[in-house]
Chains A and B, each alone.
Chain A
Amino acid sequence: MGATTVAIEDVKSGEVTEAVYEHPLPVRICHWINAVSLLVMAGSGLQIFRAFPSFGAKIPQKDLLNWPKSLAIGGWLGGALQWHLTFMWIYIGTGLIYLGYQVFSGNYKQVLFVPRDIAGVWPMVRHYFFFGPKPSVQEAYNPLQKQAYSSVIILGLLSVATGFAVWKPIQFSWLAWMMGGFHYARLLHFLIMWAMLGFVFGHLVMVVLHGWNNFLSMLTGWKKDPEYITK
């Protein structure tokens, strides 16, 4: 990897720690804008869902769940649609900038899950969930992380595709058709949101478990003393 590494010297104690520039600025900016817009999209989306909390017929209407208004954004259907139809552009925009940057800078290699990562997924799952031995870490992201981050990028693309099928089922009739029509596109859009919220939950749990240093790296770009640097 072409990541920049520096050795930090404490003049007083003579102690040396290494640090790696893990997250380039465009990635960090996109990460945080996307975090906010995903929250707004989910919050306003749930307020929109409150207007017809079902995936069945209108007559008779069987509600799926009564989502609390306090956990939604927009106050009413019209307000929520304003938030949703505004932040979708921010969400799509940062997504495109992120993908473009990753591809053209080559930084995608850090995060893209590739076939040779497959073998490393199960040992990592065993380590996290069943307290197995910790596999040795060689890169910024372990195979399970790559798998999770690559999947959520695909979910992000699907959230936009299903969203367009719901918003424009006629102009993008081919898109709606691929999803089984407007009705099922709406259901898929909803399910993908929950899958993404599931990712966010797991992501936050890992951030808490892995501590401040990890969190800081998404703010400054630099990770101090990463495990994968051999001394």
Chain B
Amino acid sequence: MTLRIDKRNFQGIGRRELLKLTPVALLGAFTIRKLQEPLLKAGLGFSDWTSKQLFRSGHLATTFADSEVTPFSKFPINDYDVDDPGVDFDRWTLTVTGAVEKPGDYTLAQIQTLPRVRQNTRHVCVEGWDVIGRFGGARLSDFLKTIGADLNARFVYVECADDYYESIDMPTALHPQTLLCYEMYDQPLTREHGAPLRLTIPTKIGYKQAKYLTDLKVTNLLPRAGYWEDQGYSKFYGL
């Protein structure tokens, strides 16, 4: 049975059907200047929230055989400012503040008394390149226990000799592969790779793995999230 319908009535049907597509026009909000920024911020925030839910404390990043490691000479050096901020190694300490029982200045020798971990893991840059490197250092979780950190605090915030700064969420800070790294390729960290101490976090994107650390703070509040984050990069960026 075919329904018979007048031509003008049919045009009305067509118009009504077309109007039902108006929800699609909501996407136009992204072209309005005032709305674009908050919308994209919300979208990135949702992605970060999802990232946080997907993170599993016990799930380890893939480790690689020594033969798969990228040669040291081909491990890129990426900084936002200078390769060598001129750290005075003799006077260097890591200054610990915030929600900890034992704040103060910690020497590299003190950090090196903690069990040393060596791991071959992939370093992924936000730009898209990746390398497999060999990293050695102390577990950040061990160090946090040594300084009596409040492990229920939300963040570990670090500052660097080159004025770079970063923050990581506590679950990631406690991940067994998150290291206070003082060795690469079984040699003391070189200046351009962040000597004397840097972060190695295989479960995070490269820009979170700050070099030339000088200060570490355990905190619930972040006045600043990170050098790149404050310019619009993802705050969580877990891999």
Q: What residues of chain A have their CB less than 8 Å away from a CB belonging to chain B? A: 4-11, 16, 18-19, 25, 28-29, 32-33, 36-37, 40, 48-49, 51-52, 54, 57-59, 61, 77-79, 81-83, 85-90, 167-171, 173, 177, 181-183, 186, 216, 219-222
Find the A residue at minimum CB distance from B62.
A173
Quote the shortest CB–CB distance from A72 to chain B (angstroms).
14
Are A33 and B7 closer than 8 Å at their CB atoms? no
Quote the shortest CB–CB distance from A31 to chain B (angstroms).
9
Are A77 and B44 closer than 8 Å at their CB atoms? no
Are B6 and A58 closer than 8 Å at their CB atoms? no
Given contacts A51-B128, A78-B231, are A8 and B10 in contact (CB under 8 A)?
yes
Find the A residue at minimum CB distance from B26.
A33
Are A182 and B47 closer than 8 Å at their CB atoms? no
Per CB-CB distance, the 9 closest pairs between chain A and chain B, nearest first, are A86-B43, A52-B128, A51-B127, A78-B232, A58-B129, A85-B47, A82-B40, A52-B127, A220-B14
Quote the shortest CB–CB distance from A91 to chain B (angstroms).
11
Are B76 and A221 closer than 8 Å at their CB atoms? no
Quote the shortest CB–CB distance from A216 to chain B (angstroms).
8
Given contacts A170-B62, A171-B56, are A77 and B126 in contact (CB under 8 A)?
yes
Contact of A58 among B18, B54, B74, B232 (CB under 8 A): B74
Are A171 and B41 closer than 8 Å at their CB atoms? no
How many pairs of residues, A versus B, come closer than 8 Å at their CB atoms?
147
Quote the shortest CB–CB distance from A222 to chain B (angstroms).
6
Contact with A along B28-45 (1 / 0, CB 8 A): 001000000001111110
Given contacts A8-B5, A11-B6, A48-B128, are A170 and B203 in contact (CB under 8 A)?
yes
Question: Is B239 an interface residue, CB under 8 A from the partner?
Answer: yes
Find the A residue at minimum CB distance from B22.
A29
Q: How far is the CA of A81 from the CA of B24 in the complex (A)?
A: 23
